[in-house]
Amino acid sequence: MITAPLTEFSTYISLNKHFEFVQEWLNNIQTLTPGEKVDIGHGITAIPALETGRTAANAPLEAHNKYIDIQVCIEGTEYMGWKHRGDCQKSRSAFDTERDIVFFDDEPDFLFKVKPGHFAIFFPNDAHAPLIADETICKVVFKIPVE
């Protein structure tokens, strides 16, 4: 898991061959419609969201196998929970291969703040609980192939 200001995103480009395309897209950001998935090429999907925040109790941990999440906060202050996936013991159900997601009922080990203009990167070993907030959150989630 990585979190930092967007101004430092280029520091992490070498971690995955697809990150440079996210950087390019962020440099030329366009108007997005919440809920409308945007194919930005190279197997990368951008998913803009405008969602009401949840309590920590209503924000389950989730993890993915095929994709890395890059979550960019545009408006609102969001808290996210984190726990190493290998430490999660309470799976809600079997892994959903079609949606590439599994949810856990475990408690996060910690919460961290993601302010507007900041991002968080979650790899497959990072169980994460997004959208913990007292307000509406505007964000973009990028789904990046692990390959």
Mean pLDDT of the chain: 94
Give the percent of the chain with pLDDT over 70: 98
Cα dihedral: 45, 49, 55, 61 (round 10): -10
Tally of residues, the chain: 147
pLDDT: which is higher, 29 or 75: 75
Give residue 101's pLDDT.
97
Q: Are 80 and 111 in contact (CB under 8 A)?
A: yes
Q: How far is residue 71's CA from residue 68's CA, in Å, rounded to a whole number? A: 10
**Predicted TM-score (pTM) of this structure:** 0.94
Q: Are 73 and 130 in contact (CB under 8 A)?
A: no
Dump pLDDT digits (tens) for 25-57.
888 866 677 778 989 999 999 999 999 999 999
Identify the CATH number of the domain defined by range 2-145.
2.60.120.370
Dump pLDDT digits (tens) for 121-144.
999 999 999 999 999 999 999 999
Q: How far is residue 42's CA from residue 16's CA, in Å, rounded to a whole number? A: 12
Domain ranges of the chain: 2-145
